[in-house]
A and B are shown apart, each in its own frame.
Chain A
Amino acid sequence: MSYLTEGYTLRSWLTTHDHKRIALLYAVAITAFFFVGGAAATMMRLELATPAGDLVSADTYNKLFTIHGVIMVWFFLIPSIPSVLGNFLVPMMIGAKDMAFPRLNLASWYIYVIGGAFTLAALVAGGVDTGWTFYTPYSTMFANGHVVLVIAGVFVVGFSSILTGLNIIVTVHRLRAPGLTWFRLPLFIWANYATSLILILATPVLAMTLTLIALERLAGIGIFNPALGGDPLLFQHLFWFYSHPAVYIMVLPAMGVASEIIPCFARRPVFGYRFMAYAILGIASIGFLVWGHHMFVSGQSLYAGMVFSMLSFLVAIPSAIKVFNWTATLYKGSITFSAPMLYALGFVGLFTIGGLTGLYLASLALDVHLTDTYFVIAHFHYIMVGGSVMAYLGGIHFWWPKISGRMYPEMWGRAAALLLFFGFNLTFFPQYLLGYLGMPRRYHEYAPELQVLNLFSSAGAVVLAAGYLLPLGYLGWSLLYGKRASANPWEATGLEWQTSSPPPQHNFHETPRVERGPYGYDPVR
């Protein structure tokens, strides 16, 4: 009897309190949003295949990139790893029977779906052209679209994030198995814990800021519009106070996933475990102090810019610690290039490129040249797509046997990982060059001499789209026809592997006792 066979009706799923089932509900919902956001991106790359704006109008293009940004950031990336893998794994990895607040957990899924419905309603009603950043005074005074509807959707879904974060923090504090001290926790737990702190401390700021935009739009007075005595810079400060840490909401859990996969397939304990844990906390806390690097050219004080620049460079230190430690974990390991490992290694490489190009953008003078160009687009896609999405998929493959009780087809898994890595670089590496050459973001046409690089990028997008459809196909296939998975097919050391695949309703028949730290791997000699 597993959690999957506890009930087969739709009702048994929609009223479940089981964290594992809620994780699957999230997985279904975010996958749907991922493909909506991806379709918008595909349209954009098609438009950009030619220099002239011929496929869609400028207005439609603006709506496409807004929809792409809003959906990918808030409806896919932010909930992806914490709400799906985190929900499934946090209680299992700490030897708990469920999350601390199971009903709240289900409620946050419903809140997410309601928020999603608002956003889809805005889409159907004609969309929004402000970009996902909702900059004032455009969003409050001039934009014609359904700004308030989209804001309502993002506001509502924010509470889903907050409640999930709160649930994870309390679960980690209160429900650890006997003997599981803080420094015996897997790094995936550390990462989701730190992420949850950001979720509960940053998301409310966004919620109130968006509320103020809606009020200003509806009432015609407010605090952001300069014509009314307000200050648009205030909006940018508040927005980026959330939206920079939001990047760490996306990438810290990805680091957690990589930290589980790499030791397992290198058969080596993770190098410098404590440093890895401290680096996670370091990134999470410094991440709160760097938001001004989005405003170097917006008229904030030069001195503020210098401080923000320095602090942004500082984040590179804990990030580099992580990259070096993953690499050192591989040293003298017995490496298997299985699909999860390929995804994880892809994550490390792409995250490194994204992180290093972030340093360009953190430099005051260079940023003047690069602001609002495709260089920025390439940079954050390397972090969010190359980093987070690769790690998310790696995690889905790694824990697929546990989640579904079936093995995915290994060759297909590897092929998809390699295809995605290739397609991703083909799509986004040319964008660094385009940005450096001065191509601005958010235009539906461009100078003809930039077409070759844009064609590379659009061709890459096609490969990428195929790469994302593949796992949908073969993972779905494996649900029915995949080989049955044993309890621990990877011979991994985490507590989640000590119970059957798929796990029983309350995870463990007996509460596990923990006697040592994680990652007790020995290399095969």
Chain B
Amino acid sequence: MATIQFDSAEERRSASLLGMWLFLATEVLFFGPLFFGYLRGRLAVHEAFVSGSHHIHFWLGTANTALLLTSSLTMALAVERAKLGRGVRLMLSLTAALGTAFLCIKAYEYASELGEAASARGGEAMFYFLYFAMTGVHALHLAIGIGLVAWLWLTARRYGERYSMPVEVTGLYWHFVDIVWVFLYPMFYLLERYNA
């Protein structure tokens, strides 16, 4: 059908994986300006970043980190099981559930921080701007990831020994979103925590 350009399923698989790696390279650069903005803000208004990071919820952020890292495990297991052709739905459900739990906690955090962020001035306003922008773009990526996992769940019947490429490709994306959080978590929650 639409895959006349490939000679074999393996060629199609390797092309799709390469495509996703390139897309992730794009994604890294997409986050780039935010990280530069953070670096510049931290250097310019350091005290505001110190006090800002005392105002956000350390324990919720930590719990979210645990959830997301676990979801990467279940996603990796989903890829393995997709290749075996059984039990993939369970792992996909767990992955989506962990991702959704992350978003719920994040939404609760946002709701409780919004008032303070709105009244913040100067450097603290910039801290909150970066915090919302960076974690917000991350959350958007995660929401898209959950949508992709849900789609995999719906089409789970198709995957087996001979064809598991969509699960693998989505897996790469999921791990990328996870890794972004691995950077965001220390930047906002940890770095200044013991700096009074």
Chain A interfacial positions (CB closer than 8 Å to B): 17, 91, 96-103, 162, 166-167, 169-170, 173-175, 200-205, 207-209, 212, 215, 219, 221-223, 228-231, 234, 237-238, 506
Contact = CB atoms under 8 A, between A and B. Distances in A.
Contacts of A229: 41, 44-45, 122-123, 125-126
Given A170-B19, A174-B18, A223-B41, A97 B4 contact: yes
Contact of A202 (B18, B29, B126): B29
A89 to B, nearest CB: 15
B45 A102 contact: no
A396 B77 CA distance: 51
B14 interface: yes
A169 B123 CA distance: 42
Contact of B32 (A174, A208, A228): A208
A205 B30 CA distance: 5
Contacts of A101: 15, 19
Contact of A100 (B5, B25, B44): B5
A223 B29 contact: no
Contacts of B41: 223, 229
B112 interface: no
A473 B143 CA distance: 50
Contacts of A174: 6, 11, 14-15, 18
A238 B31 CA distance: 12
Contacts of A205: 29-30, 32-33
Given A166-B26, A223-B126, A238-B36, A98 B5 contact: yes
Contacts of B151: none
Contact of A203 (B2, B26, B125, B128): B26
Interface residues of B, number: 34
Interface string B6-25: 10000100110011001101
A169 B22 contact: yes
Task: Identify which of B5, B29, B32, B126 gathers the most chain A CB atoms within 10 Å of its CB.
Answer: B5
Given A96-B5, A99-B5, A166-B22, A221 B15 contact: no
Nearest to A230: B126
A207 B31 CA distance: 10
A78 B22 CA distance: 19
A218 to B, nearest CB: 12
Interface string B43-74: 01100000000000000000000000000000
B133 interface: yes
Given A204-B27, A208-B30, A223-B41, A166 B129 contact: no
20 contacts: A98-B4, A98-B5, A100-B6, A100-B15, A100-B19, A101-B15, A101-B19, A166-B19, A174-B11, A174-B15, A175-B6, A201-B26, A204-B26, A204-B30, A207-B30, A208-B31, A228-B122, A230-B126, A231-B44, A237-B36
B103 interface: no
B25 A201 contact: yes
Contact of A223 (B4, B31, B129): B129
Nearest to B32: A205
Contacts of B15: 100-101, 170, 173-175
Contacts of B128: 221
Given A170-B15, A229-B45, 20 more contacts: A100-B6, A101-B19, A102-B5, A166-B22, A167-B19, A174-B15, A175-B5, A200-B22, A201-B29, A204-B26, A205-B33, A212-B133, A215-B129, A221-B125, A222-B129, A223-B41, A223-B129, A223-B130, A229-B122, A230-B126
Interface string B120-155: 001101101110010000000000000000000000
Given A223-B40, A229-B45, A229-B123, A204 B18 contact: no
Contacts of A98: 4-5
